[in-house]
Structure 1
Amino acid sequence: MKNKGRESSEFLRPQHSLYISEPLRASMELGSLALYSSWLDLAPQGDGHAVMVIPGFTADGRSTKILRDYICRLGYSVSCWRQGVNLGVRKDLFDGAMAVLNELFERHDGRVSIVGQSLGGIYAREMAKSRPEKVRQVISLGSPFNDPGGVRSNVSELYKLFNPEKSPKSAQSRSIQWNPQLAPSVPTTAIYSKSDGVCHWRSCIQHGGGHDRLENIEVAVSHIGMVVNAQVFYVVADRLAQDQERWRPFNSGE
Structure 2
Amino acid sequence: MPVASEWLDTIKARAALVAEAQPSGIHGPPLKHLLGELQFLTRPLKRKEPGLAVPRSTSPRVVMLLPGFATHPVRLRRLARHLEMAGHTVKNWGLGFNMGPSPENFDVVTQRVLDLHRRYGEQVVLVGWSLGGIFAREVAKRHPDAIAKVVTMGSPFSGNPKANNVWRIYHLITGHSVEAPPVVADIATKPPVPTVALWSARDGIVSPRSSCGRPGERDRAVALRCGHMGFAYSDEAIEAVLAELENI
Q: TM-score range by the shorter chain?
A: 0.7 to 0.9
Match of 2:36 among 10, 14, 21: 21
**Larger deviation, residues 189-198 vs 19-28:** 19-28
Q: Unmatched 5+ residue regions in structure 1? A: 1-8, 245-254
1:37 aligned counterpart, secondary structure: coil
* Alpha-carbon shift at residue 178 of structure 1 (Å): 2.7
Alignment of 1:24-39 (within 5 A): 24-25=39-40, 34=50, 37-38=52-53
Q: Which structure is larger by alpha-carbon Rg, 1 or 2? A: 2
Matched, 1:209 2:216: yes
1:198 aligned counterpart, secondary structure: coil
Q: Encode CA deviations 1:103-155: one digit per residue, 9 max, x unaligned.
A: 11011101000000000001101111010000000000000101463x12111
CA contact (8 A) 1:30 1:229 kept: no
CA contact (8 A) 2:154 2:228 kept: yes
* Alpha-carbon shift at residue 183 of structure 1 (Å): 0.9
Match of 2:130 among 112, 118, 126: 118
CA contact (8 A) 2:138 2:184 kept: no
* Alpha-carbon shift at residue 102 of structure 1 (Å): 0.8
Q: Distance in 2 between the 1:231 and 1:30 partners?
A: 19
Q: Encode CA deviations 1:181-229: one digit per residue, 9 max, x unaligned.
A: 011111111000000000010001131228xx81000000010111111
CA contact (8 A) 1:183 1:206 kept: no
State the partner residue of 2:86: 74
State the partner residue of 1:222: 227
**Amino acid of the residue matched to residue 189 of structure 2?**
L
State the partner residue of 2:243: 238
CA contact (8 A) 2:27 2:165 kept: no
Q: Distance in 1 between the 2:33 and 2:173 partners?
A: 24
CA contact (8 A) 1:49 1:112 kept: yes
Q: Unmatched 5+ residue regions in structure 2? A: 1-23
**Amino acid of the residue matched to residue 78 of structure 1?**
V
CA contact (8 A) 1:193 1:201 kept: yes
Normalised by the length of structure 1, the TM-score is 0.80
CA contact (8 A) 2:230 2:237 kept: no
Q: Encode CA deviations 1:56-113: one digit per residue, 9 max, x unaligned.
A: 0001111111111111111111100011111112111111101110111011101000
Percent of aligned pairs with the same amino acid:
27
CA contact (8 A) 1:29 1:225 kept: no
State the partner residue of 1:193: 200
